[in-house]
């Protein structure tokens, strides 16, 4: 078994609320400096900066996971992680068709920069990415699965867009196999309130919107890793991470 330090919830400069310095190259570099083995890019309602993130993660020796933080129709934040970049980009197209087409006002909400492999601004997403998509929590679980991914409720210990705060409860028969805490010290409180959480995989992530908030090496998962260091190997490792979160290993 190998112990991997991870951060599965990071926003790039494509999220309007994230710092412009959160470029894919800077995120991958910071993940390496912090001693992480794997990192997921999870912008609000989009996966479009995942391709340059994969490019830079490979250079810095980080296992990249393509992801998204979906805002469901209930206004609950759900972290979606995909086995492949192509699966994530197909899901991105699906979510694009379910998002309201309100124009972003960068002066109010912030810029939404699309980046290229040179870590340069390649364009800007014109529609505001913060609004809820027309996808319910239950629909999200099964559609993410259809695109080769796994999803789980984000920061259940936070008031803002956390599933417990929004719904007033944690689903009693969740399809989810995992849940995310923003603050690891709230584990006992939430497991006492919702005993079924003890049967789910606990993920602790940074929800970083600034470089200095990306996780240090303090949350790890244990998985049996395949050997090798080529790109196939990174894909295999990403798949094993998704299997772990799915409760399969
Ligand atoms: Zn969130
Ligand atoms: Zn977030």
For residues 243 and 123, what is the distance between their CA atoms, to the nearest angstrom?
Answer: 34
- Residue 184 CA to residue 244 CA, distance in Å, equals 19
What pLDDT sits at residue 149?
97
11 C-alpha to ligand 2 centroid (Å): 6
Please give the Cα distance from 149 to 46 (Å, whole number). 14
pLDDT at 229: 53
The per-residue pLDDT for range 98-134, each reduced to its tens digit, is 999 999 999 999 999 999 999 999 999 999 999 999 9
- How far apart, in whole angstroms, are the C-alpha atoms of residue 227 and residue 230? 9
The per-residue pLDDT for 231 is 52
Q: Which ligand is nearest to the CA of 18?
A: 2
Cα 25 to Cα 97, 120, 208, distances in angstroms: 29, 10, 15
Instruction: Give the residue from 77, 55, 72 showing the smallest Cα distance to 11.
Output: 77
Q: Which ligand is nearest to the CA of 68?
A: 2
Those residues of the chain that have pLDDT short of 70 are 226-232
CA–centroid distance, 228 to ligand 2, in Å, is 32
Tell me, what's the pLDDT at 2?
83
* pLDDT in the model for residue 60: 97
Q: Which ligand is nearest to the CA of 10?
A: 2
Q: How far is the CA of 61 from the centre of ligand 2 (A)?
A: 24
User: Which of 3.20.20.140, 3.40.228.10, 2.40.30.30, 3.40.50.300 would CATH assign to domain 2-245?
Assistant: 3.20.20.140
Q: Where are the domains of the chain?
A: 2-245
CA of 79 to the centre of ligand 2 (A): 8
CA of 90 to the centre of ligand 1 (A): 22
The position carrying tokens 């995310």 is: 180
Cα(173) to ligand 1 centroid in Å equals: 22
The closest ligand to the CA of 207 turns out to be 2
Ligand nearest to the CA of 159: 1
Q: Give the model confidence (pLDDT) of 205-239 as tens digits.
A: 999 999 999 999 999 999 887 665 555 588 889 99
> Ligand 2 centroid to 57 CA: how many Å?
20
């Amino acid at each position: 078994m190998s112990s991997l330090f991870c951060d599965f919830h990071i926003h790039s400069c494509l999220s309007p609320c994230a710092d412009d310095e959160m470029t894919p190259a800077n995120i991958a570099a910071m993940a390496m400096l912090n001693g992480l083995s794997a990192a997921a890019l999870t912008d609000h309602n989009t996966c479009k900066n995942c391709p340059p993130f994969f490019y830079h993660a490979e250079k810095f020796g980080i296992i990249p996971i393509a992801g998204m933080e979906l805002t469901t129709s209930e206004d609950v934040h759900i972290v979606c992680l995909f086995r492949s970049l192509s699966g994530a980009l197909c899901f991105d197209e699906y979510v694009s068709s379910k998002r309201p087409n309100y124009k972003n006002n960068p002066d109010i909400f912030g810029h939404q920069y699309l980046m290229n492999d040179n870590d340069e601004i390649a364009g800007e997403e014109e529609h505001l990415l913060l609004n809820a998509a027309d996808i319910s929590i239950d629909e999200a679980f099964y559609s993410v699965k259809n695109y080769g991914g796994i999803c789980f409720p984000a920061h259940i210990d936070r008031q803002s867009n956390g599933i417990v705060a929004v719904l007033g409860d944690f689903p009693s028969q969740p399809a989810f196999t995992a849940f995310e805490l923003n603050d690891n010290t709230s584990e006992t409180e939430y497991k006492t309130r919702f005993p079924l959480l003890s049967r789910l995989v606990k993920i602790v992530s940074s929800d970083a919107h600034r470089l200095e908030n990306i996780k240090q090496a303090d949350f790890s998962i244990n998985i049996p890793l395949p050997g090798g260091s080529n790109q196939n190997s990174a894909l295999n490792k990403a798949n094993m991470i998704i299997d772990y979160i799915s409760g399969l290993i």
